[in-house]
Amino acid sequence: MTHVLVLGGTTEASALCRALAEAKIPATLSYMGRVERPKPQPIPVRIGGFGGVTGLIQYLHDRHITHLVDATHPFAAQMSTNAVAAATETGVPLLALTRPAWQPGPGDCWQRVPDMAAAVAALAGPAQNIMLAIGRMHLPEFAAQPQHHYLLRLVDAPADTPPLPHHTTVIDRGPFDVNADRALMQTHKIDRVVSKNAGGTGSISKLQAARDLNLPVLMIDRPVLPPRLAVQTADQVLDWITG
């Protein structure tokens, strides 16, 4: 009997869960647990880690998983790497549901860096107003550049005050609107935007707003992942499962 495990936390994962429910394909969605108020889903949900590759392998065995779909965030490198390792070990077929990376277009002023450490280093220099649109996990790393005032846009309020001497926090959940993002940047007199290259449409408005305002964007490239089969739509996943 088919039983799909979806490693989720993205808009694409939610779309896949709806498609699986409509197709009446048994499935479970697994969240890493970094969002305090996950959106309701039409299939069973588990929250929390597996305990590394060994724990994921055990879960695949115990729940008789027949198909593993990695629909995590493009920057969830450890989970994606673990999924490849567990699928290889167990023989459970693995498919990644991912979104294309953003590409700069006419009018964009991007500085690309390979990782978070390079992004921190790139902010050396005089104080600026920085929109730090990277989520909450890596905020402490930017304490190495304390001269800036950081605008933080987060899905959930942080449990602890970010270790940034000068910052303003805005709690909001996408999808975002380009007009609202433009107004946000103007209100806070933003000089530069720092972003992960997450792709998709939910948060692309900040890049459009930066283009409109002629603001430079410090774009953090995606981590390099092990080779895996990947598609970009829920329908392609269903074809893979039922084909």
Report the candidate in 139, 165, 140, 169 with the shortest Cα–Cα distance to residue 153.
169
Q: Is the dihedral of CA 205, 209, 210, 214 positive or negative?
A: positive
Provide the pLDDT confidence category of residue 156 given band limits of 50, 70 and 90. confident
Q: Which residue has the tokens 């588990």?
A: 46
> Tens of pLDDT along 127-152?
999 999 998 889 999 999 999 999 99
> Tens of pLDDT along 9-49?
888 999 999 999 999 999 999 997 655 567 789 999 999 89
Domain boundaries, the chain: 4-99+224-242, 110-220
| First-to-final CA distance of the chain | 14
User: Residue 240 in 3-state DSSP?
Assistant: helix
Domain 4-99+224-242: assigned CATH number: 3.40.50.720
Give the mean model confidence (pLDDT) for residues 229-241.
97
∠ CA(176), CA(182), CA(187), 5° rounding?
Answer: 115
Are 196 and 218 spatial neighbours (Cβ–Cβ below 8 Å)?
no
pLDDT at 230: 97
Q: Are domains 4-99+224-242 and 110-220 of this chain identical in fold?
A: yes
pLDDT at 159: 83
- CATH 3.40.50.720 holds for 110-220: yes
Given a cut of 90, whether residue 201 has pLDDT beyond it is no
* pTM score: 0.89
